[in-house]
Every structure is written in C-alpha cells, then in structure tokens.
Amino acid sequence: MMYELTGKTAIVTGGAAGIGRASAILLARAGARLAVLDVDEAGGRETVQQIMDAGGEAIFIHADVSQAGDCQRAVGQVVERWGGVDILFNNAGIVRRATVVELSEDDWDRVMMVNVKSMFLMSKYVVPLMEKAGRGAIIHNASGWGLRGGPQAVAYCASKGAVVQLTRAMAIDHSSRNIRVNCIAPGDTDTAMLRSEAQQLGIPKDEFYKDAANRPLQRIAQPEEIAAAVLYLASEAASFVTGAILAVDGGALAG
C-alpha cells in the first residue's frame, strides 16, 4: 500500500523510451495518471499506448523541456485535464562524449539546456502547484557521473553534478511545504542513450557494454530496475526522504 499512487498525477519528461518509459509505465501500474513529455512523438505515444493497453490513464504532450514556453504549456495542459501535479520525474537528458577541447560550444549549451535547464523550468512551473496542494514529490535523474568524474564526458559530468546540487538546494527550499525533492544516480543502463555513447566513441557495442558491466554486480541495469527507484521516491514509502541522492548503479560508486 505504501507504493499506491491511485488518484495522483505524474509528469515524466523524456518519457518516449528508456528509463523515462519504464518509469511512466511503473508509476501508472501503481495507479498514477501519467503525462508523458518528449520531443519524440512516436515514442511518446507508444509509451502512452502501453499504459492505456494495461488499463492506465495517460496523455502524451509534445514538448521541448529546455524551452520555457513548452514547459509552461505542458504543465498547463496537465492542470486543465487533472487539476494539479503530485509527482514530477525530471528525466529528460542527453549525452555528448568529448573532452573540453573536443566539445563544441553548441554541444555544451545543448547538454546544459536539456540536462539542467529543463529541470529548473519544469520545477519552476510545478512547485507552485505542489505548494498550493501542500504536498508533492519531485525526482531528478542525475548519474553516478554527477558524483564522480568520467572520461570524455565533460559536459555530461558537469550537468549531472549540477543536478545533484539542484536537488539538495530545492529540498531545503521547499520541505516546509511538504514537497520532497530527491534524485536518482543511475549506473549504465541498457538504453538507446548508452548505445549512442558507444557510437560516439567509436567502440563496438559488445565491447562497450562489457566495459560498462565492470562493477560489483557485474552487469548493466535494465530500465525497469531504475524505474523501481523512481517509484520508491515518488511514493509514501519515501515519506521521510528528501535531499537524497540514491545511487542505483550495481555498486559502481562503492569502489
């Protein structure tokens, strides 16, 4: 019962695939109504269809969450349909694998806009709704590389480090209104993003995945395993948890 979300409304950004899709489906399975946001319309609608086929309630909203107008419009549509927002999973993210010398300014800006600015913008428009309701749960998707460095990933590491500190600062600011703000720090997960990293670095997928599995549990994660942590932080099971960075990484940060 502590994971029951019936009657709650959730927004998931980057919900067209990977961790976003798995999280949207799991939150819906727990009873939440889902708004799936993404620029990938086909993928986003497929996520919604999977939720509805399983008996859930969901809508797709096409939105570039790095843009204030899209964020404000999307939140407005959710409020118009369901009256408020109880859960926000800021999941949208991209990666560009390069050193500071190799990385273009445009790629730096794009990573920061999608990985950090989107979380600021979505939170900016959702937090007042949660304050009015007197409750809410916000989960940001950070990364193990937000807590330690990684090679040829300067923009990604910097952006995810910013997400970690955004989480802590927001938790302090909004806890008095019963709004919990936490983040997950996933390890390598079998998603299109991970496969794109192999392509960017020019490494065969099997070789890249084998290296990514070099952690105590000796494998990479499946998106559903990360989604389980999102459900926990969104639910009453985490009622006394805020400002936390939950590593879901197969022990990678342990050593």
The answer to whether residue 232 is catalytic is no
First-to-final CA distance of the chain: 35
Instruction: Evaluate whether residue 192 is within a structural domain.
Output: no
Nearest Cα neighbor of 181 from 147, 145, 136 is 136
Q: How many Cα atoms are found within 13 Å in the side-chain-facing hemisphere of 63?
A: 31
Report the pLDDT value the prediction gives residue 147, as an integer from 0 to 100: 97
**Does residue 78 sit in helix, strand or coil?**
helix
Residues 6 or more apart whose Cβ sits within 8 Å of residue 250: 187, 215, 216, 217, 218, 219, 220, 221
- For residues 156-180, give the mean pLDDT: 98
Residue 121 amino acid letter: L
Instruction: Evaluate whether residue 57 is within a structural domain.
Output: yes
Instruction: Evaluate whether residue 88 is within a structural domain.
Output: yes
Report the pLDDT value the prediction gives residue 2, as an integer from 0 to 100: 87
| β partners of residue 11 | 35, 88
If one counts every other C-beta atom within 10 angstroms of the C-beta of residue 97, the result is 22
- For residues 25-32, give the mean pLDDT: 98
139 in Cβ contact with 234 (< 8 Å): yes
Report the pLDDT value the prediction gives residue 64, as an integer from 0 to 100: 98
155 in Cβ contact with 112 (< 8 Å): yes
Domain that holds residue 22: 9-187+226-247
Above pLDDT 90, what percent of the chain?
Answer: 99
Q: Render pLDDT for 97-118 as a digit per residue (tens, 0 to 9).
A: 999 999 999 999 999 999 999 9
Residues 3, 125, 156, 232: which is the catalytic one?
156
Residue 255 has pLDDT above 90, yes or no: no
Instruction: Evaluate whether residue 126 is within a structural domain.
Output: yes
Instruction: Evaluate whether residue 110 is within a structural domain.
Output: yes
Report the pLDDT value the prediction gives residue 149, as an integer from 0 to 100: 95
Residue 169 has pLDDT above 90, yes or no: yes
Nearest Cα neighbor of 78 from 7, 13, 12, 9 is 9
What does pLDDT average to over the chain? 98
Instruction: Evaluate whether residue 197 is within a structural domain.
Output: no
Q: What is the DSSP letter of 63?
A: -
Q: Which two tokens stand for residue 141?
A: 């998707």
Count of structural domains within the chain: 1
Q: Which two tokens stand for residue 191?
A: 């998603």
- For residues 146-173, give the mean pLDDT: 98
Q: Which CATH number does the domain housing residue 157 bear?
A: 3.40.50.720
DSSP letters, 196-255, are HHHHHHT--HHHHHHHHT-STT-SPBPHHHHHHHHHHHHSGGGTT--S-EEEESTTGGG-
Q: Render pLDDT for 38-73 as a digit per residue (tens, 0 to 9).
A: 999 999 999 999 999 999 999 999 999 999 999 999
Residue 9 has pLDDT above 90, yes or no: yes
Instruction: Evaluate whether residue 157 is within a structural domain.
Output: yes
- For residues 90-97, give the mean pLDDT: 98
Residues in the chain: 255
Report the pLDDT value the prediction gives residue 1, as an integer from 0 to 100: 75
Residues 6 or more apart whose Cβ sits within 8 Å of residue 33: 8, 9, 10, 56, 57, 58, 82
Residues 6 or more apart whose Cβ sits within 8 Å of residue 165: none
Instruction: Evaluate whether residue 4 is within a structural domain.
Output: no
Q: What is the DSSP letter of 189?
A: B
163 in Cβ contact with 92 (< 8 Å): no
pTM for the whole structure: 0.97
Report the pLDDT value the prediction gives residue 84, as an integer from 0 to 100: 98
